[in-house]
Amino acid sequence: MDNVIDLIEKAEREIKRDAEDLTRLKVRYPGYDFVRVEPAKRQLSALETAILSLINFETEKEWTSRSVTTALRERPVSLPENDDAAMNAVGGALIVLVCEKKIRRSHQGRGRDPHRYIAIGKGEQETTPA
């Protein structure tokens, strides 16, 4: 997890540096119109899509990474054979889905008490203007 935090901090430093460079270039070349390009939206992986559909199918249920892994083993989803590797893949996908606001963490786990995740209700989803 520390590795992920380190990568995020490194990316934030690079973004800040890019913004400073852009400001410096605008001062140096005042007649040139610099346009900031927004990154393209990331596509969900097959595993993330399978997890999202599973959680959205049973909206009343709270899911743990173990229960998601068990449910995915019953479906035609490609998961690693090794149980630890499958749990890591599912855990990473759940984190991505939470960060992208596709699902919500309903309980912050600790130790032997796992994180729990739920579907975002229709009223909770962010609406994008048309």
- Taking only the tens place, the pLDDT of each residue in 48-86 is 999 999 999 988 899 999 999 999 999 888 899 899 999
pLDDT at position 102: 93
CB 68 within 8 A of CB 94: yes
Which residues have CB under 8 Å from 67's CB, separation 6+? none
pLDDT at position 1: 60
Residue 122 has pLDDT above 60, yes or no: no
CB 79 within 8 A of CB 89: yes
